[in-house]
Amino acid sequence: MAVLEVGDSDFEEKVLKSEKPVLVDFWAPWCMPCLMVSPIVEELSGTFEGQANFVKMNVDDSPQIASRLGIRSIPTLMIFKSGECVETMVGASPKEYLQSKLENAIGKKDEENGE
């Protein structure tokens, strides 16, 4: 599954209104740690295909959303579920850490449905 590029104009539709959890990778092309995280996000998008959506947002091209969400350093990865941020990870994180955070976000949906 491909990681979609989103901007200020389609963030609400692609992320906040998504029926699935969405991992958002806030990045910039000049950011070396961002470039290290990118292949991990690509790999996880395949692992979680059908369970979650994955998008990237270039903070230089789309500063409004990043500013509104208080993004101060990149890479910042956020997981949104039902329009709310449920997880924020700042800096380059290992794949296992990101995977466990995604599993938690997806698992929370099952718990809510079970109540």
Looking at 6, 22, 24, 34, which residue is catalytic? Answer: 34
Per-residue DSSP letters for 37-50? Answer: HHHHHHHHHHHTTT
pLDDT band at 2, cuts 50/70/90?
confident
Give the pTM.
Answer: 0.90
Please determine, for residue 110, whether its predicted confidence score (pLDDT) is greater than 50.
Answer: no
Looking at 23, 31, 40, 77, which residue is catalytic? Answer: 31
Which is nearest to 88 in space by CA: 76, 102, 104?
76
Domain spanning 4-114: CATH superfamily: Glutaredoxin (3.40.30.10)
Joined together, the tokens standing for residue 104 give: 């938690």
List of residues 6+ apart from 25 with CB closer than 8 A: 3, 34, 37, 38, 41, 54, 55, 56, 57, 75, 77
pLDDT band at 109, cuts 50/70/90?
very low
Which is nearest to 45 in space by CA: 37, 36, 54, 33?
54
* Chain segment 82-91, per-residue pLDDT in tens: 999 999 999 9
pLDDT band at 112, cuts 50/70/90?
very low
* Chain segment 10-64, per-residue pLDDT in tens: 999 999 999 999 999 999 999 999 999 999 999 999 999 999 999 999 999 999 9
Q: Domains of the chain: which residue ranges?
A: 4-114
Please determine, for residue 111, whether its predicted confidence score (pLDDT) is greater than 60.
Answer: no
> Is 109 or 93 the better-scoring residue by pLDDT?
93
Is there a catalytic annotation at residue 85? no
Which is nearest to 74 in space by CA: 56, 99, 98?
56
Is there a catalytic annotation at residue 31? yes
- In a 13 Å sphere around the CA of 80, the CA atoms on its Cβ side amount to 22
